[in-house]
Chain A
């Protein structure tokens, strides 16, 4: 069977539905609605039209030779998801799930968010489709991404700062699930990544796979052949699977996901889930995760809030386990250096998340040599990260620190 044909609930040994029975009816309802929508050309057309007239699809590709020169001369091409409305790939998934919410007749949506990109995208779709919207965000993240909190509120969403557990993305997911269990009759959960219980990993992938479908053709048009490698950053893994999926059955195309190595994958402070974790059950699915001997989730660390997650989508765990994709860590510092390098050489400021993929692309370029072509998913833009970058590179005036 073609790797691309794989559907949930299981990807090899990974996936499933490890959730309270109270959520099963909602997951079944969502899964059935999604299956019907998938088979309905009108749904696909409506989504495609939103892509064209609202998101700005297809997103362009940009070759970045001045940046690539720092990797030994291989060609590096960026897929510009940073140019989407709301500034990242997250909008692709959110529009699909918001349309689905309308189809099942629910009037309220909830979502978790880490960096705030998925929360902003969800709040945007809620404004567009006239849905009530509540966003759960770890208290730690509301502090480091205050601009996105304001943006969500301006869009009309209620933002709840989650104070339980480690007060980050994983706890925001827990509280969103608790909300869903309680309010399932009126509420749909717009999950932001390819993790979670079935049908989310499959459904979110399907809404994101347009990234790779477009990029595969665009690279063919530009270079006449498929890229040597495709790379993306991996937190939960939605932008990565979105790019990788179209290439899964192109056996000659190398696939590499770059996880957040934090202060170093050999230290306790990282979010390199596949590199350093082992299989377990978290947030409704069996997948790789960071955990202690007793199965308690270990807090992750990354300078990028969007990658600061101790789990990963089950399809990535499967691709790693069968050797189709490789996953490597990139440290905070390597990512920040790549962020500055792309900015200085090409005038494109990437999100810190995406900068992990850029750092990885340089590493891979040196390994593959100057004949290689590397396609990188530039999943988001760096506007939201200016405060982090300013502090990291000491860009604020000394007498006037923010």
Chain B
């Protein structure tokens, strides 16, 4: 049974959909990343996506690269990820997903990682460089522990691959809005609307759109056709420039996008 899916369903029943907010663990410090995550939830973020800093983040744009590189330089360790999940879930109710590149999980041990994430109160994993084809170990471990597993779908994915991704995912499917890496964009692609429609046809219960979303208007627009909107780089930039208060303020602003008519 998914932890994240009921929250997304509830937000679609009582508002336009769910707001999912991303922040990296350990940026600018471990304590501030925990405070910022709590502030996001207190200001209307429904689901948290905590990124684990990684040396070779091929899916990330410059804002998140800079933040995670700083976290690594400050001494980020994988154990901090579990600690952050524990501290955040002790204070707020929103489900916390970990977003991680695959090698750290492989090195920690897929089963051990799943056990420790579940024990910390985490909801599951978003895996940007793990496709279901290569994910047998993780699918087995998440079945055993009940963790959600969010795989990515892209505008270029074939129908057969979308069906496979929908089948393999639990919680939601992460629809990559545009061809590219993370980072705010002026327009969220029409490609996202088409992709979500194709995922619906493939039987997805919930598709959430990420990459390029940074304003309340974009959140509202995306929630017109998707179950959730994912914001990352814009929140990281707010945190970098204005601290926890600014990240919280942007979250409150973005959350208006979930309620607009």
Contact = CB atoms under 8 A, between A and B. Distances in A.
- The answer to whether A and B come from one shared complex is yes
Interface of A: 16-22, 24-26, 164-165, 170-171, 174, 177-178, 181-185, 280-284, 286, 291, 293-297
A164 B134 contact: no
B179 A181 contact: yes
Interface stretch (B114-122, B152-160, B238-246): B152-160
B57 interface: yes
A174 B56 CA distance: 7
A22 B154 contact: yes
Nearest to B154: A22
A185 B107 contact: no
B152 A281 contact: no
A21 B103 contact: no
A8 to B, nearest CB: 13
Which one of A16, A21, A25, A185 has the highest number of Cβ atoms from chain B below 10 Å of its Cβ? Answer: A21
- Which of A165, A170, A178, A291: most chain B CB closer than 10 A? A178
A165 B56 CA distance: 8
B146 interface: no
A195 B73 CA distance: 27
B90 interface: no
Given A174-B57, A283-B56, A18 B69 contact: no
A327 to B, nearest CB: 21
A297 B55 contact: yes
A128 B130 CA distance: 37
B54 interface: yes
A314 to B, nearest CB: 13
Contacts of A24: 131, 154, 156-157, 161
Nearest to A281: B103
B172 to A, nearest CB: 14
13 contacts: A20-B152, A21-B153, A22-B179, A24-B156, A24-B161, A25-B158, A171-B56, A178-B58, A181-B59, A181-B180, A280-B106, A293-B107, A297-B103
A129 B55 CA distance: 36
B102 A25 contact: no
B258 interface: no
B180 A182 contact: yes
B106 A17 contact: no
Contacts of B152: 20-22
A298 to B, nearest CB: 8
Contacts of B179: 22, 181-185
Interface residues of B, number: 40
B249 interface: no
A287 B65 CA distance: 24
A295 B176 contact: no
Contact of B59 (A20, A164, A183): A20
Given A164-B65, A181-B179, A21 B55 contact: no
B197 interface: no
A286 B103 CA distance: 9
A177 B134 contact: no
B165 interface: yes
A184 B59 CA distance: 14
A291 B108 CA distance: 12
Given A25-B157, A280-B107, A17 B59 contact: no
B77 A282 contact: no
Given A18-B130, A21-B151, A281 B106 contact: yes
Given A16-B134, A165-B65, 10 more contacts: A18-B131, A20-B59, A24-B154, A25-B154, A174-B56, A181-B180, A182-B179, A280-B106, A294-B78, A297-B103
Contact of B156 (A164, A184, A294): A184
A19 B135 CA distance: 12
Contact of A164 (B69, B157, B176): B69
B160 to A, nearest CB: 11
B58 A174 contact: yes
Contact of B128 (A20, A25, A282, A284): A20
A21 B161 contact: yes
B109 to A, nearest CB: 11
Contacts of B62: 164
Top 4 A-B residue pairs of the complex, sorted by shortest distance between their CB atoms: A295-B107, A25-B156, A182-B180, A295-B104
B133 interface: yes
Interface string B36-80: 000000000000000000111111011001000100100001100
A164 B55 CA distance: 10
Interface in B124-153: 128-131, 133-134, 151-153
Contacts of A170: 56
A294 B58 contact: no
Contact of B58 (A17, A19, A183, A296): A19
B252 interface: no
B181 interface: yes
Given A26-B156, A178-B181, A181-B179, A19 B56 contact: no
B103 A291 contact: yes
A201 to B, nearest CB: 15
A21 B133 CA distance: 10
A294 B130 CA distance: 17
Given A174-B56, A295-B103, A17 B69 contact: no
Contacts of A294: 77-78, 104, 107-108
Contacts of B58: 19-20, 174, 177-178, 181, 283
A57 B133 CA distance: 40
Among the interface residues A20, A26, A184, which one has the most CB atoms of the partner chain B within 10 A? A20
Given A21-B151, A170-B56, A282-B56, A296 B180 contact: no
Contacts of B55: 165, 296-297
Contacts of A295: 54, 78, 103-108
A297 to B, nearest CB: 4
A18 B154 contact: no
Nearest to B162: A21
